């Protein structure tokens, strides 16, 4: 089965005339997480602990499944998996995969991570990735780091850009990086937080 076929809701012909939606979760995992066996749950938790699953799409898929279980035993591995995803540069790699023309700023991501770590309200979510992405948005870090990039002499090969060139680069980075940020945030229909905001 192709990767695209397993990434979202699909229809399968039912025995009647209408098709029914289903969600392919993972081979051997029931579509209804409440019907999941202990063995399947253990396998998902093990995949988080060993970092076999390390893309935002796959982590969100597992997070949605485990959210139905509302079990304390899934909190630590899920929290750790999100932290590993962010700190192992997989988040940066995915952001850069969405920003081919102007690669996403690692400094922007690093500042957002630092701000989240120092923010006492960061305990409102177990999801470090979501907290970092939201911090970038709320603190307007994209514009700040787009300006920082345009201010570097190395960006211009040692020459001094005109004001128009400077602003053009800033605006281009802001547009592309903001689009990538919005696309990443679309993985959550609602905030994964204890406060709902």
* Each residue's pLDDT tens digit, 137-147: 999 999 999 99
- Using CB atoms within 10 Å of the CB of residue 56, give its burial: 0 to 12 exposed, 13 to 18 middle, 19+ buried: buried
> Per the structure, how many domains does the chain have?
2
Residues 6+ apart with CB under 8 A from 181: 95, 133, 136, 137, 142
35 and 7 in a common domain: yes
Residues 79 and 146 in one domain: no
Residues 70 and 49 in one domain: yes
123 and 48 both lie in a single domain:
no
What does pTM read for this prediction?
Answer: 0.79
**Which structural domain range is residue 65 located in?**
1-88
Categorize the per-residue pLDDT at 32 as very low, low, confident or very high, splitting at 50, 70 and 90: low
Q: Is residue 38 part of a domain?
A: yes
Mean pLDDT of 25-33: 51
Measured distance CA(118)–CA(165) in Å, rounded: 36
The Cα-based distances of 17 to 10, 12, 14, 91 in angstroms read: 16, 11, 7, 43
Is residue 146 a part of any domain in this protein?
A: yes
- Does 93 map to a domain? no
139, 115 in Cβ contact below 8 A?
yes
What confidence tens digit (pLDDT) does each residue in 181-197 have?
A: 999 999 999 888 654 44
What is the predicted pLDDT for the residue at 70?
62
Residues 111, 140: contact at Cβ < 8 Å?
Answer: no
Residue 178, φ and ψ in degrees, nearest 5: -65, -40
- Answer yes or no: is pLDDT of 178 > 90: yes
Lowest mean per-residue pLDDT among 29-33, 63-67, 109-113: 29-33
User: DSSP assignment, residue 89?
Assistant: T
Query: In which band, very low, low, confident or very high, does the pLDDT at 31 lie, cut at 50, 70 and 90?
Result: low
Q: Within this chain, do residues 48 and 135 fall inside the same structural domain, yes or no?
A: no
Looking at the chain, the whole-number percentage of residues with pLDDT higher than 90 is: 54
**Are 120 and 161 contained in the same domain?**
yes
End position of a domain, from candidates 44, 61, 88? 88
Task: Tell me how far the alpha carbon of residue 132 is from its chain's centroid.
Answer: 9
- For the ranges 84-98, 126-140, 148-162, 180-194, the lowest mean pLDDT is seen at 180-194
């Amino acid at each position: 089965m192709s990767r695209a076929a397993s990434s979202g809701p699909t229809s399968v012909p039912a025995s009647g005339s209408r098709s029914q939606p289903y969600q392919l979760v993972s081979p051997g995992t029931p579509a209804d997480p409440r019907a999941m066996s202990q063995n399947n749950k253990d396998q998902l938790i093990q995949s988080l602990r060993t970092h076999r699953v390390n893309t935002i799409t796959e982590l969100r898929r597992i997070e949605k499944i485990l959210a139905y279980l509302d079990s304390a035993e899934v909190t630590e591995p899920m929290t750790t998996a999100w932290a590993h995803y962010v700190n192992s540069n997989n988040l940066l790699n995915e952001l850069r995969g969405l920003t081919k023309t102007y690669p996403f700023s690692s400094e922007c991501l690093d500042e957002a991570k630092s701000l989240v770590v120092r923010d006492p309200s960061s305990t409102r979510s177990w999801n470090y990735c979501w907290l970092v992405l939201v911090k970038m948005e709320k603190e307007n870090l994209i514009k700040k780091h787009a300006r920082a990039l345009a201010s570097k002499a190395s960006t211009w090969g040692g020459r001094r850009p005109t004001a128009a060139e400077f602003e053009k680069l800033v605006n281009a980075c802001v547009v592309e990086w903001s689009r990538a940020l919005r696309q990443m945030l679309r993985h959550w229909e609602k905030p994964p937080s204890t406060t709902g905001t």
